[in-house]
Every structure is written in structure tokens, then in C-alpha cells.
């Protein structure tokens, strides 16, 4: 997805809540927030537009529904100025990987483990 779009989504949600639920399926990715006072969802549908800022390519092996700390995602999004695209790799077995491919320099990768709720521990 566009790194500018990722930054916009994370900044908007970070101002509203501390945790985001990221849910994927074959056609879309949803960024959900829920708390006692507010709830909301930003949904990005898959498209393979030739315009870089509009492209959102989604490849799903298995649907994922995990919670992450927005504070950390906001820090990761600061690298968005380094390239136009960001890749998010989600799995229920591994941490979230946020990857920026830097032209002629290499790759910048950030990893974030999902939040474990009290309900899952019982």
C-alpha cells in the first residue's frame, strides 16, 4: 500500500485509541478501533492501480485478525518519507513485519508482536 496512506491511517487512529485491530481477507484490509467511548473502521480494498498512491495489493494465505499498539505503528510510519510503498506482512504465528524498500539502499524492516488480551489468556 502507499506509505503516505499507511501514515495517514495510523496517525488518525493513534489520536483516537491506543490499540488497532487489523483484519485481512482476500479483498480488503480493515483497521478497527474500539473502546468504551469510540469505535471506527478504515477499510482499504484491494486494487492493482498503476498510480502508486492508489495501489493496495493484498495477498492472503489465511485471514488474520490481530491487535497492535498504535504507538509503535506510529513510530514505524515515520519511515514513510523514505519510499512510496510499504508492505505489511501479517500472520497469526509471527509478528507483524512492516517493510520499506529503499531504492538502491536496501530494505528497512520493523517487527511488532500482537497485543495479547486478557480474554485470550483464560
* Cross-strand bridge partners of residue 99: 87, 109
**Does residue 77 or residue 117 have the better pLDDT?**
77
CATH number at residue 24: 3.70.10.10
pLDDT over 90 at 73, yes or no = yes
Give the percent of the chain with pLDDT over 70: 91
CA 64 centroid distance within chain: 12
Q: What spatial distance separates the first Cα and last Cα of the chain, rounded to whole Å?
A: 36
Q: How many domains does the chain have?
A: 1
Burial class (CB in 10 A: 0-12, 13-18, 19+), 72: middle
pTM score of the predicted model:
0.82
**116 lies in which domain range?**
3-121
Contact 83/101 with Cβ under 8 angstroms?
Answer: yes
Amino acid at each position: 500500500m502507499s506509505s503516505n496512506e499507511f501514515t495517514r491511517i495510523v496517525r488518525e487512529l493513534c489520536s483516537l485509541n491506543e490499540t488497532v485491530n487489523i483484519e485481512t481477507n482476500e479483498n480488503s484490509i480493515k483497521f478497527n478501533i474500539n473502546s468504551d467511548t469510540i469505535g471506527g473502521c478504515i477499510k482499504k480494498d484491494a486494487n492493482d492501480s498503476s498510480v502508486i498512491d492508489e495501489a493496495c495489493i493484498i495477498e492472503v494465505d489465511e485471514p488474520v485478525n490481530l491487535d497492535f499498539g498504535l504507538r509503535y505503528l506510529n513510530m514505524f510510519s515515520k519511515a514513510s518519507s523514505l519510499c512510496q510503498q510499504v508492505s505489511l506482512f501479517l500472520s497469526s504465528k509471527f509478528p507483524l513485519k512492516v517493510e520499506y524498500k529503499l531504492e538502491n539502499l536496501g530494505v528497512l524492516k520493523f517487527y511488532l508482536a500482537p497485543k495479547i488480551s486478557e480474554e485470550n489468556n483464560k
